[in-house]
A and B are shown apart, each in its own frame.
Chain A
Amino acid sequence: MIDLRKAYDRALVSMKDAGRTYHIILAILLVLIAWGGFSWIRIMFIDGAGITGSSDLVPWGIYIVGFVFFVGTSAGASLVGLMIHGFGRKDYEPLGTRAILVGFLSLTAAVLFLMSDVGNPIRAGLLPAVLRNPTSMLVYTSMTYAGFAALMLSELFFAIKITLQGGKGSHRDEKMAQVLAVGALLFALMVVHAPHGALFAFLKAREMWNTPLLPAHFVTVALASGIAVIIHITIVTSKITRKEIVSKETLSHMGGLLAFFLGVTLFMDFFDYLVMSYSGKPGGLEIWHFLTTDFYSFFLINTIGMFGAMVILLFKRGRTIPGLLIASTITIIAILSYRWNLIVVAQIPPLFPGTGNIYYTPTVPEVAVVAGIVALISFLYLVLTRVLPMEETYQENRQMTIEN
């Protein structure tokens, strides 16, 4: 039985011990959250959604970009659970709780982005009660969030329970954790991610989305972005706390996985763009035109970034700590660019010749909401990793082994 009083005292001490920089970062994040919250209230209740950059011609903007990015990250983070429990890689164990937290908080961010985008958030909050159209993919994807969140919370429960029992839980708990880890990844990829690709792929009006490749593409990009975020967070946390969370070999292994998923994504990207430009369909050519002219910077960051990160990670010499940090950062930026292109460029080509030059630029309140949501999940992550009992890090484990 967990002693809540003891856990609370421990959390309080842990927060007090955290140091000045930590508290300053928390304060900055709180300011960002307040800014975002104020902007959200302004958009939703005072001025209206008209102060965002979206228009009738580009109905989906930066919120949906954030939404698809964070949904992807949530699924990729489940891969660590699979590594520990499915493939028995015990060296991943120090990352267990952190990865679940990243996954859960990413999903929270995704849902918040979605709720910021809709015109009627209160009505949308009652979605399960009002959902009734079985032909809409949005019904299925919205229903999956509750299931996925429940799966990750159960995973979190068992991870904490096992940690509190000294890293070795009872046979039943270990079995449950294993079932949940494998289930969560399968659920993430098959039930959450591929349908999110289908959500866009079903729209025959938009040439860029209407490709059967999109569900598969969403799965690989999700895995790549999830691993990149985990690598990034692990290295940054290790640097700040001066404590090795996982060994260099484990990080190198994760780098290899990232390279593989990046390779698959690039392979699909290459043929998608090739077919688009080669087949010469007017819609495809228009998309290709916008990708290579107005949005060339995003396109270059996306393709060259992914390719560069993959090249760095392919070689063993690249999979050192600095190399991994650079590659994971590049990957995150490249995937963000890819998501921007996917959402925005798809809506830029006019559906009728001569409609004019359609454009989309996010406005300040919109960016504030995005910053607020990202700050909120960063804040929660920083606090929760302090408050919740974390697994022993690689360094602590090694020191204990040497002492014994």
Chain B
Amino acid sequence: MLNLPVLLEAMCSGPRDWDLLQKIRSGPRNWVYWVILSRVQPDLTPQNLKERWSPYRESSLEWCITLFETESVTGVSGIYHPTENPGAGTTMMYTKLRKDKWYMPVQCNHCDDAPCVQVCPTGASYKDSDGIVMINYDKCIGCRYCMVACPYQARRFNWFHPEVPYKDRNPLVPMREEGVVEKCTFCVHRTRTGKGKTTRCVEACPNKARTFGNLNDPDSEVSRLIKSERWWRLKDELNTGCNIYYLTRHSKKRMRWYKPLPPPQNIRGLR
């Protein structure tokens, strides 16, 4: 007997998402995955913005951006964009933060199937064995194909010759010349030392909104957090397999939309 409601549900939701999520969760992981979890509040509305916005929060974001700048020497690695329309006629990048806006950090997602790595003609962008998407600045020709390919707008081009005073330079991070593309590297100069160091943004965030770790390690905080089923990823529908997970605080009513439906039963032709 054909179960029309179940069939409709299957047609609308489809088992594909569920399968995909299963694959993502339990697929073979032969290499190290690094995850940053940002605690963001998607239920924040313009109405309750003013109450929730504290000077502390604002300064923390500014502090975050400043640290990005000092750690990587040139360029901000993340876009801080408001979720409400600013209507200011300009992008909110690199500008002073505003109290009436709500910001969400977006950065390189170090995708498993990274579009930027796919399209780079010289192989300057590559996926390292530990899962980090890296750029070989000596190979980059500056065609910016990776920038238009990135769904997260995570890449920056060095439009001018970088003029950073010697005392402000980080000796562990190479200076990028003019005319090459750069982005977040998950602070490889810290995290790959094997001394348990974490990224600069995680270290600096006074709100502890970020967590960084190895998913292969079952005892790590990220492994614990990922079990919560409250995470979501940016533009998951593009199937890039990003490695930045966002965690919601008030998830129960909110995450119903994101929770995958169980696979429909008793339908011929469907497994």
A residues neighboring B (CB under 8 Å): 47-50, 54-57, 59-60, 114, 117-120, 123-124, 127, 130-133, 135-139, 142, 202-206, 347, 351-359
Q: How far is the CB of B40 from chain A (nearest CB, A)?
A: 13
Q: Tell me, in angstroms, the Cα distance from A120 to B144 when the chains sit together.
A: 11
Cross-chain contact A49 with B157 (CB below 8 angstroms): yes
CB atoms of A59 and B141 under 8 A apart: no
Interface of A is mostly: loop
Tell whether, in the assembled complex, residue A131 and residue B122 are in contact, meaning their CB atoms are under 8 Å apart: yes
CB atoms of A356 and B122 under 8 A apart: no
Q: Quick one: which of B87, B90, B119, B139 contacts A203, CB cutoff 8 A?
A: B119
Min CB distance A149 to B, Å, is 19
- Chain B contacts for A204, CB-based, 8 A: 115, 151, 238
Interface residues as binary, B225-262 with A (CB distance below 8 Å gives 1, 0 otherwise): 00000000000001000000000000000000000000
Minimum Cβ distance to chain A for residue B191 (Å): 25
Offer 21 A-B interface pairs, CB within 8 angstroms, sorted by A. Answer: A117-B144, A119-B178, A120-B141, A120-B142, A127-B122, A127-B141, A130-B122, A131-B121, A135-B119, A136-B120, A137-B119, A204-B238, A347-B148, A352-B81, A352-B153, A354-B82, A354-B84, A356-B91, A356-B92, A357-B88, A358-B91
Return chain A residues, CB-CB under 8 Å to B170: none
Q: Are B79 and A203 in contact, CB atoms less than 8 angstroms apart?
A: no
Q: How far is the CB of B16 from chain A (nearest CB, A)?
A: 17
Q: Identify which of B30-38, B66-74, B158-166 touches chain A.
A: B158-166
**Are B120's CB and A120's CB within 8 A?**
no
Q: Kindly count the residue-residue contacts between A and B in the assembled complex, taking CB atoms under 8 Å apart.
A: 145
Query: CA A137 – CA B139 in complex, angstroms?
Result: 17
* B89 interfacial by beta-carbon distance below 8 Å: yes
When distances are taken between beta carbons in the complex, the residues of chain B under 8 Å from A50 are 159-160
- State the 7 A-B residue pairs at the shortest beta-carbon distance, nearest first: A119-B142, A119-B179, A50-B159, A205-B151, A59-B144, A138-B121, A48-B160
Report whether A56 and B156 are in contact in the complex, using a CB–CB cutoff of 8 Å: yes
Q: Please report the total number of B residues contacting A with Cβ < 8 Å.
A: 48
Out of A49, A114, A138, which one reaches B159, CB within 8 Å?
A: A49
Contact partner of A135 (CB less than 8 A), chosen from B118, B122, B179, is B118
Bound form: Cα–Cα A133–B119 in Å: 8
Query: What residue of chain B has the Cβ atom nearest to residue A202's Cβ?
Result: B119
B85 / chain A contacts, CB cutoff of 8 Å? 353-354, 356
Residue positions of B touching A, CB distance < 8 A: 79, 81-93, 106, 115, 118-123, 139-145, 147-153, 155-161, 178-181, 238
- Least CB separation from A140: chain B residue: B121
Q: Which residues of B contact A137 (CB under 8 A)?
A: 119
Minimal Cβ-Cβ distance residue in A for B143:
A118
Question: Which residues of B are found within 8 Å of A118, using beta-carbon distances?
Answer: 141-144, 179
Other A-B contacts than A49-B160, A347-B148, 10 sampled, CB-CB below 8 A, are A47-B160, A48-B160, A48-B178, A49-B178, A119-B180, A120-B140, A120-B142, A123-B141, A127-B141, A202-B119
- CB pair A132–B123 under 8 Å, yes or no, is yes
> A16 to chain B: closest CB distance in Å?
44
Is B156 within 8 A of A119, CB to CB? Answer: no
Are A120 and B151 interface neighbours, CB within 8 A?
no
In Å, the complex CA distance between A323 and B84 comes to 52
Is B91 a contact partner of A355 (Cβ separation < 8 A)? yes
Which residues of the partner chain B approach A47 to less than 8 Å between Cβ atoms? 160
B115 near A205 (CB under 8 angstroms)? yes
Kindly state the separation between the CA atoms of A138 and B91 in the bound complex, as whole angstroms. 29
Closest residue of chain A to B75, judged by CB? A56
Bound form: Cα–Cα A354–B106 in Å: 13
What A residues does B160 contact at CB under 8 A? 47-50
Contacts of A119 in B (CB 8 A): 140-144, 157-158, 178-181
Q: How far is the CB of A113 from chain B (nearest CB, A)?
A: 12
Partner of B152, one of A48, A351, A356: A351
Cα(A257)–Cα(B253), bound, Å: 61
Query: How many Å lie between the Cα of A311 and that of B153 in the bound state?
Result: 42
Most buried by B among A54, A138, A347: A138
